[in-house]
């Protein structure tokens, strides 16, 4: 597939190196400064086309994003969509959360894009994942269902403080890249329309759960200019976002059984109310 997709746009896949194979396959070409992204099976081509169109608009707007490689895309091979991106050499450390703050703040103040974006809906995504989970015990499934029902009811009472905007949907250290002395955002599969608080709470979770620490998060909040932790709706959005992260990985566990132990450990942590439990990256 990789050979066919690259040939279609005049690139050579010989010696390509797999960089990431979690949801999508991300491959670096050795013959050109290009990264190739192969969407997971079942991803609708129109969704990938929407992402390409959106990123083109970002590029035209001068937004700090990883650039698309200048070829006609996506390329569809065997019902899988393939996109091509500029390769950016990376430092030996991840982008700091404080570096993500500036592009994220710019994103949240952009005008309405000329691309029809989906509405961000974590609750619907959680319910869809629960329906697709096949690897968890009945008691855990019941707990997840009760949690989403409770949190969905709580969400109706939340009063958002920031106006709706374009949101990245999953901003985190692995969805940003070094670009010289600054950072650019990448991985736009989850882009949508929603309240910026969803992006901000996602950053807080990644700092707390994956070992970056409170000071690392606080530098982000100070740079962005709004600390979502001080907002009354924080706990509800935090719990919904963590539940989505867990149920997404639980859904994928049938195809990656090695992740099941970590998924169950996270669920048990939720049942115990342990908000400080470190999570391992899946």
Q: What is the pLDDT of residues 104-124, one digit of tens each?
A: 999 999 999 999 999 999 999
Cβ-proximal residues to 211 (8 Å cutoff; 6+ apart), any chain:
278
State percent of the chain over pLDDT 70: 100
Tell which residue, 64, 84, 65, has the closest CA to residue 73.
Answer: 84
Computed over every residue of the chain, the mean pLDDT equals 96
- Per DSSP, the residues of 82-150 read EEEEE-----SSPPPHHHHHHHHHHHTTPPPPSS-PPBP-HHHHHHHHHHH--SS-HHHHHHHHHHHHH
Under 8 Å between Cβ of 239 and 150: no
Q: Does pTM surpass 0.85?
A: yes
SS3 of residue 261 by DSSP? helix
pLDDT given for residue 95 in this prediction: 96
What is the distance, to the nearest Å, from the Cα of residue 31 to the centroid of all Cα atoms in its chain? 28
Q: How many CB atoms lie within 10 A of CB 18?
A: 10
| Domains and their CATH numbers in the chain | 2-86 (3.30.200.20), 97-271 (3.90.1200.10)
pLDDT category, 241, cuts 50, 70, 90? very high
3-class state of residue 156 by DSSP: coil
pLDDT band at 127 (very low <50, low <70, confident <90, very high): very high
The whole-number average pLDDT for the span 141-169 is 98
**Neighbouring-strand partners of residue 19:** none
Size (the chain), residues? 282
Other Cβ atoms less than 10 A from the Cβ of 105: the count is 15
Q: What are phi and psi of 38, to 5 degrees?
A: -105, 115
Q: Per-residue pLDDT averaged across 153-158, rounded?
A: 98
Q: What is the pLDDT of residue 23?
A: 76
């Amino acid at each position: 597939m990789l050979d066919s997709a690259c040939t279609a746009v005049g690139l050579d896949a010989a010696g390509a190196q797999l960089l990431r194979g979690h949801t999508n396959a991300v491959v670096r070409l050795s013959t050109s400064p290009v990264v190739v992204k192969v969407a997971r099976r079942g991803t609708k081509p129109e969704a990938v086309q929407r992402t390409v169109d959106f990123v083109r608009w970002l590029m035209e707007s001068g937004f700090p994003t990883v650039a698309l490689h200048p070829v006609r895309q996506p390329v569809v091979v065997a019902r899988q969509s393939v996109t091509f991106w500029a390769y950016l050499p990376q430092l030996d450390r991840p982008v700091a959360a404080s570096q993500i703050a500036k592009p994220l703040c710019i994103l949240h103040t952009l005008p309405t894009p000329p691309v029809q974006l989906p509405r961000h809906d974590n609750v619907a995504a959680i319910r869809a994942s629960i329906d697709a989970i096949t690897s968890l015990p009945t008691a855990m499934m019941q707990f997840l269902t009760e949690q989403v029902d409770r949190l969905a009811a709580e969400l109706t009472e939340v009063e958002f403080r920031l106006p709706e905007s374009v949101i990245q949907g999953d901003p985190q250290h692995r969805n940003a890249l070094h670009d010289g002395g600054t950072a650019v955002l990448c991985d736009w599969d989850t882009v949508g329309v929603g309240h910026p608080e969803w992006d901000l709470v996602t950053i807080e979770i990644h700092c707390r759960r994956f070992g970056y620490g409170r000071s690392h998060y606080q530098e982000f909040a100070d740079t962005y200019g709004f600390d979502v932790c001080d907002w009354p709706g924080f706990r509800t959005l935090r719990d919904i976002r963590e539940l989505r992260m867990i149920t997404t990985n639980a859904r994928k566990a049938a195809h990656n059984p090695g992740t099941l132990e970590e998924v169950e450990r996270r669920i048990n942590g939720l049942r115990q109310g342990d908000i400080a439990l470190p999570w391992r990256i899946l």
